[in-house]
Amino acid sequence: MSFDVVVIGRNEGLRLGAALRAAKGLARRVIYVDSGSRDDSVTQARALGITVCALDPVRPFTAARARNEGFAALGPDRAEFVHFVDGDCILQPDWPAQALDFMREHPQAGLVFGRQFEARPDASVYNFLTDWEWDKPAGRDALSAGCVLVRTTAMVELGGYDEALIAGEDDDFCLRLQAAGWETWRIGGAMTEHDARLLSFAPWWRRMLRAGYSYGALGQRHAQKGRAQRVRALVWGGVVPLLGLIGLVFWLPLFLLMALAIALSLTRQTRRFMRMELDPDRAFRAASVLMLGKHAELQGLVRFWRDQRAGRVSGLIEYK
């Protein structure tokens, strides 16, 4: 059971070369889709003998569009399975055999993905939180990230990813597969090594802003999906701080109540991270950054709602 790989990227630098070499060593064919890179990404791919699909800049760049055009570039003789890989991710040697065996044993599975992990989780608290985010529970009806093995027939049936989405296109694709009767699975096993390179607060904030934007987009398309994330962003990113400010100005007990709520939430999350063998100081910093991220998520939600009301099409929200 062979498979093809579509790698998508934009200004990934040296990391792209490692991603392409790993994919080339495992797959039958590899297509690289470039979204207007200003570095030597295209040159790197061609030097490795990999077919390059450079997206026309006339149309907006999205990861969904890149995956669709890469899939189309494989042509009618594409393999039974296609693995989508982001340009900052390195496919692990033992993963394809495990994933393909699973797909053979589960003919109703439209896609499968495994554990994506950070290359340097200890480099910053932001990298740690990204690695923690990737560690999703295994099981059916899972929602994937960008790297995933897809059954070609399922991809064709759905017409690919929704190219109008600038974020959340992976969750949307999984939900549409499930609605069409396909299964989406997350199984054990290391799938890809990711390099977030989040070493300061600003890119982390933009990443959380993009997440908030995706919550809004998913809610528009799939009603209840992402509702818990939207509520948390509204409560911890907006309502609690606003009530605290009102209390500070007009009624001190309200301020103290909101401060207590924040303190209890931080304590609970800090203890959760300490159970992951983080030292107390690092655990508290991770919990604090996670709390601050709710403000960014709310900002992303508001941006989505404003775009929808104004009929605007937002550009990419990049954090690197």
Q: What is the pLDDT of residues 31-86, one digit of tens each?
A: 999 999 999 999 999 999 999 999 999 888 999 999 999 999 999 999 999 999 99
3-state secondary structure 256-274: HHHHHHHHHHHHHHHHHHH
Q: Return the CA Rg of the chain.
A: 21
Tell me the C-alpha to C-alpha distance, in Å, between residue 200 and each of 62, 124, 212. 25, 8, 19
Range scoring the smallest mean pLDDT among 107-111, 266-270, 307-311: 307-311
Instruction: List the one residue out of 223, 183, 196 whose CA is nearest residue 133.
Output: 196
Check whether residue 29 and residue 152 sit in a common domain.
Answer: yes
- With cut-offs at 50, 70 and 90, classify the pLDDT of residue 193: very high
Check whether residue 140 and residue 186 sit in a common domain.
Answer: yes
Q: What is the pLDDT of residues 204-249, one digit of tens each?
A: 999 999 999 999 988 888 877 778 889 999 999 999 999 999 999 9
- With cut-offs at 50, 70 and 90, classify the pLDDT of residue 277: confident
Tally of domains within the chain:
2
Check whether residue 192 and residue 237 sit in a common domain.
Answer: no
| 15 in a structural domain | yes
| 319 in a structural domain | no
Check whether residue 39 and residue 145 sit in a common domain.
Answer: yes
| 137 in a structural domain | yes
| 250 in a structural domain | yes
- What are the residues whose beta carbons fall under 8 Å from the beta carbon of 137, sequence distance 6 or more? 186
Instruction: List the one residue out of 149, 186, 166, 198 whose CA is nearest residue 300.
Output: 166
Check whether residue 231 and residue 106 sit in a common domain.
Answer: no
Check whether residue 181 and residue 37 sit in a common domain.
Answer: yes
Instruction: List the one residue out of 218, 195, 206, 215 whose CA is nearest residue 130.
Output: 195
Check whether residue 167 and residue 24 sit in a common domain.
Answer: yes
Check whether residue 133 and residue 209 sit in a common domain.
Answer: no
CATH code, domain with 13: 3.90.550.10
Q: What is the pLDDT of residues 222-233, one digit of tens each?
A: 877 778 889 999
SS3 245: helix
| 91 in a structural domain | yes
pLDDT at 1 over 70: no
Which residue among 134, 165, 198 closes a domain?
Answer: 198
pTM: 0.91
Check whether residue 47 and residue 138 sit in a common domain.
Answer: yes
**Residue-number span of the structural domain to which 88 is assigned:** 3-198
Check whether residue 21 and residue 96 sit in a common domain.
Answer: yes
Instruction: List the one residue out of 65, 39, 15 whose CA is nearest residue 23.
Output: 15
> How many Å apart are CA 305 and CA 313, to the nearest integer?
11
Check whether residue 186 and residue 41 sit in a common domain.
Answer: yes
